Amino acid sequence: MTDHIAFIGAGNMAGALIAGLIADGTPPERLIATDPSVEKCEALSTATGIRTLQDNREAAAEADSIVLAVKPQILRQVARELTEQIQDRRPLVISIAAGVRCDSLQAWLGGDVPLVRTMPNTPAMIQAGATVLYATRWVSEEQRGQAESLMRAVGLTQWVADEALMDAVTALSGSGPAYHFLIMEAMENAARELGLSAETAHLLTLQTAFGAARMALESSESPELLRARVTSPGGTTERAVRALEEGGIRDLFRNALEAARDRSVELSVDMGKA
């Protein structure tokens, strides 16, 4: 891990990363965060013990790694503000901004910057995230390790060699939690219609989802095989799975991920023009 990490932006994801790093053993004095909101800075400093500032340039001037954790809509302005410090010191820059491509960021930062683009998802806020990373050619092996260690503080990490795959990643893991919440919502509603109380339907839905996910994570078998093992011929599960298949569940998910991927491409193009 690098000596000093500056978080430009002190929102929920930055807060999750900071909390994860501290829980992982990073001393708070090695971390700094900036935000225009004095209240947000004070709250983060109180919660974590790190130093906070309102001046992005001052924070960047002290950092070995810089995490760009601002909203994509203002990233261009923020990046250009930091160009001088980044070009002078050549720190590792890690972007967690959705939909902003590396070529756009390189242009805003002055070019030839050791830059890692990441796509975390919202469960990172409870240290259960899935983050995909892409490194530009100026990133050293040591810096790749630094970026991976940082993002691993909030969950699983995975690298891709082609930045174009980040749009598919956005469709799968970036937007994916919403798909699972929708499935939970549908199961709860159906269970209430079958006569279960709202509380029972809610608790059983959540525990079933948690248990299935844990089984899949801890098993060496594929989801297909795990499904087959709990689907007895002629039983209730087989009847339910058949209804889902006949309803076109596979086509629905393929269409959903394709739609999310296509929208990710559109947004990336728009961000580059902004």
Residue 189 CB partners (closer than 8 Å, separation 6+): none
Residue 259 has pLDDT above 70, yes or no: yes
The DSSP string of 29-48 is GGEEEE-S-HHHHHHHHHHH
Task: Tell me the pLDDT tens digit for each residue of 132-177.
Answer: 999 999 999 999 999 999 999 999 999 999 999 999 999 999 999 9
Say which residue the tokens 């219609």 belong to: 193
Compute the distance between CA of residue 79 and CA of residue 83 in angstroms, rounded to an integer. 6
Mean pLDDT of the chain: 95
155-159, strands of its sheet edge to edge: 51-53, 31-34, 5-8, 65-68, 92-95, 115-119, 129-135, 155-159
Give the pLDDT score at 1. 45
Domains and CATH numbers, the chain: 5-161 (3.40.50.720), 174-264 (1.10.3730.10)
Give the pLDDT score at 220. 96
Q: Radius of gyration of the chain from Cα atoms?
A: 21
Task: Tell me the pLDDT tens digit for each residue of 55-92.
Answer: 999 999 989 999 999 999 999 999 999 999 999 999 99
> Residue 37 has which token pair?
């909101």
Task: Tell me the pLDDT tens digit for each residue of 172-225.
Answer: 999 999 999 999 999 999 999 999 999 999 999 999 999 999 999 999 999 999
Give the pLDDT score at 140. 96
Quote the percentage of the chain above a pLDDT of 90: 93
Compute the distance between CA of residue 229 and CA of residue 71 in angstroms, rounded to an integer. 44
The mean pLDDT of 17-27, rounded to a whole number, is 93
Task: Tell me the pLDDT tens digit for each residue of 89-102.
Answer: 999 999 999 889 99
Half-sphere exposure of 66 (CA within 13 A, CB side): 28
Residue 128 has pLDDT above 50, yes or no: yes
Indicate the pLDDT class of residue 274, thresholds 50, 70 and 90. Answer: low
Residue 2 has pLDDT above 80, yes or no: no
